[in-house]
Amino acid sequence: MAAQLVVALLALTSLGAASELDCKELVKPLVLDSHSPIYGKWVLHVGSWDQHGLRSDLVSVKSSWVEMSPSSDSGVITIHWADRLYEDKCLQGVANATISGMTSHAKFNINGHTSYHDGKYYETCSDCLLSEDTTVLPDGKSKGRYLFLFTRTGTLEPSELETFKKQAECLKFLPEFHFLGTDLCPEDKETATPAAENTENNQTDVQPTAK
């Protein structure tokens, strides 16, 4: 019996070590710099959240895209975004985000409401963008996190989706997912809400769907 107990404990230890190793391989942060692979236009394919109260905001979105590009200011990127809501209403705007190391900070103005976010990005499938978005309250406390997987086309291979689900588990997100369509809002940069000005005291991320 004692020998069987030792074998069982060793097996559990091995499983725990393997699980930890898998997460280290699955969740590798991207360094954000002037050659960052986050630039370009991205279509949101699937999102998850770490608190049940965040679900309602994300599931109200039918489709979403973001376009990120470097600005003339070092360490600042420009984000154009558009969300199509289920009542077939389009919301879109433009914002600036500061980047430092592996984190982005931005402030969005959506329908007169200011939204603050901190963003992190991770290695993922080819032509994909994996973003962790933390919604920050005005007092600096976190409201919760979203995990977004964007692609260039809005489509995803089944194996890539399974990898995303494992990454979400590693990052301690709930096993709940919202899948979005590709009926995108048209680009209309001329009428987009102007970028909110970033300051050292008011910083936040790049994903408009995490409001």
Count CB neighbours of 6 within 10 A. Answer: 10
Task: Compute and round to an integer the Cα radius of gyration of the chain.
Answer: 19
pLDDT tops 60 at residue 42: yes
Return the percentage of the chain with pLDDT > 90, whole number: 51
pLDDT band at 11 (very low <50, low <70, confident <90, very high): very low
pLDDT at residue 211 in the model: 45
Which structural domains are found in the chain, ordered by start?
40-179 (2.40.128.20)
27 vs 139, residue with greater confidence:
27
pLDDT value of residue 16: 46
Token reading at 152? 């260039």
Question: What's the pLDDT score for residue 167?
Answer: 97
pLDDT at position 204 is 32
Mean pLDDT value of segment 33-42: 80
Contact criterion met (CB below 8 Å) for 80 and 184: no
Look at residue 210 in the predicted model and tell me its pLDDT.
Answer: 46
The arithmetic mean of pLDDT across residues 19-27, rounded, is 80
Contact 187, 152 (CB under 8 A): no
Burial of residue 143 (number of CB atoms within 10 Å: 0-12, 13-18, 19+): middle
pTM, 2 dp: 0.79
- Lowest model confidence (mean pLDDT) among 28-42, 134-148, 152-166, 169-183: 28-42
Output the DSSP codes for 108-173. EEETTEEEEEEEEEE--STTEEEEEEEEE-TTS-EEEEEEEEEESSS---HHHHHHHHHHHHHTT-
pLDDT, one tens digit per residue, over 109-151 is 776 777 788 999 999 998 999 999 998 877 778 889 999 999 9
Write down the pLDDT at residue 169.
96
What is the 8-class DSSP label of residue 194?
P
pLDDT digits (tens, 9 = 90+) for 45-89: 999 999 999 999 999 999 999 999 988 887 888 999 999 999 889
